[in-house]
Amino acid sequence: MRVFVTGGTGFIGSHTCQQILDAGHSIKLFVRNKAKAKAIFGGKVRSVVTGDICNVNDVKKALKGCDAAIHMAAMVSTDKGDAEKIYKINLAAAKNVLGQAVESGCKKIIHVSSVTAIYNPKAKKLSHTSPLGVAKNAYGRSKVDCERYARELQDDGAPLHITYPASVIGPDTPNLTVPHEGVIANLYGIGLNMPSGAQYVDVRDVAQAHETLLSKDLKPGRYPLAGHYISWKELYAKIEKLSGRNLVTIPIPGFTMRLIGRTVDVLNPLFEANTPITHEAMVYATKWIKMDSSKSEKELGLKFRPFEGSLIETIQWLERENYITRDQAGLLSRHSKR
């Protein structure tokens, strides 16, 4: 099968591409930067096309000869000045890629969505049956409206699957992600002991899910990829246990973090600060709603890697790439005599 791929040079994308290459498929990468694609894949991907993901002709031309398509590309930014741009580009790209993949006759299409697309702080749980989310920031709204469009295609009979990765961790990322930056922040020795927690999934499990959706004959569906729920208290305890370090954990109420997020939202435009701390982000961090992956486990035969193993490999990779020091890695350092 020849697979058209957007977002292939990102964290999820690069691992997904490697997985489907290992399964014997060929790939046509649609990218902005050929040099970056070559640095990641070397000569493993022979067909690399550059173009504007929002341009109809660029995507139509690139889709020729492809049997399947995976859309993973999305613009992410916490800069308030990028808000309108993020919304317009992400929605236009999804409509362009998914819509034309359907028109071109692709037999299988995968839209990599986000928990943001179905998140609602008032829900009892998140699952494949969850309605559209209630996000208010530009990125969140773009994911919700991309999700709405993808569901419309499904309702019209398109051979389209949707996946919802939680917080993705693991080694070998071309660019640091928010979960990676969170681990790095904790390794400075301080943890905010907030209520709630997060769900972490290994990037290789996400990649396996995507390859399985290409290989198995399944009806179009929606597949949460949640991994493991870990409270913030548990996370800090695991980091201490694995690294042999003592973290300073600061108890802080959820409403305080959400208030700080609101304050940052107001001050950001005044000082042009670029920070991941927003009210919406703090709602996720302090009011996480657990996501149910039972459908993915049953239909895809997916068995999520143990969280500790993923965390170990993430920290070890961060040290190898000099994102953290040997002291921060502690017992997990390659220099450790453990």
Tell me which residue of 206, 182, 181, 207 sits closest to 192, measured CA to CA: 182
pLDDT for 313 equals 98
pLDDT at 2: 95
**Tens-digit pLDDT profile for residues 219-245:** 999 999 999 999 999 999 999 999 999
Q: Give the bridge partners for 109, in sequence order.
A: 69, 160
d(C-alpha 253, C-alpha 286), whole Å: 8
Higher pLDDT, 278 or 64: 64
**Contact status, residue 26 vs residue 68, Cβ threshold 8 Å:** no
309 CB burial (10 A radius; 0-12, 13-18, 19+): exposed
Number of H-type helices and E-type strands within the chain: 13, 12
Tens digits of residue pLDDT in 1-18: 999 999 999 999 999 999
State residue 139's pLDDT score.
83
Q: Does the pLDDT value for residue 54 go beyond 90?
A: yes
Report residue 279's pLDDT band, with 50, 70 and 90 as the boundaries.
confident
Beta bridge partners of 161: 110
- Residues 61-103: tens digit of each pLDDT: 999 999 999 999 987 765 566 778 888 999 999 999 999 999 9
pLDDT 10s digits, 120-178: 999 999 999 999 999 888 888 999 999 999 999 999 999 999 999 999 999 999 999 98
- The single-letter code of the amino acid at 231 is S
Instruction: Show the domains of the chain with their CATH numbers.
Output: 2-166+200-227+290-305 (3.40.50.720)
Residue 123: CA count within 13 A, CB half-sphere: 20
Q: What pLDDT does residue 277 have?
A: 78
> Who has greater pLDDT, 299 or 136?
299
Which of 14, 11, 16, 15 lies closest to 215, judged by CA?
16
At a CB cut-off of 8 Å and minimum separation 6, what does 328 contact?
Answer: 184, 187, 188, 243, 245, 319
Q: Which residue has the tokens 């002991």?
A: 193
Once rounded to an integer, what is the mean pLDDT over residues 6-35?
96
The residues, ordered by sequence, that sit 6+ positions from 332 with a Cβ below 8 Å of its Cβ are 242, 243, 312, 315, 316, 319
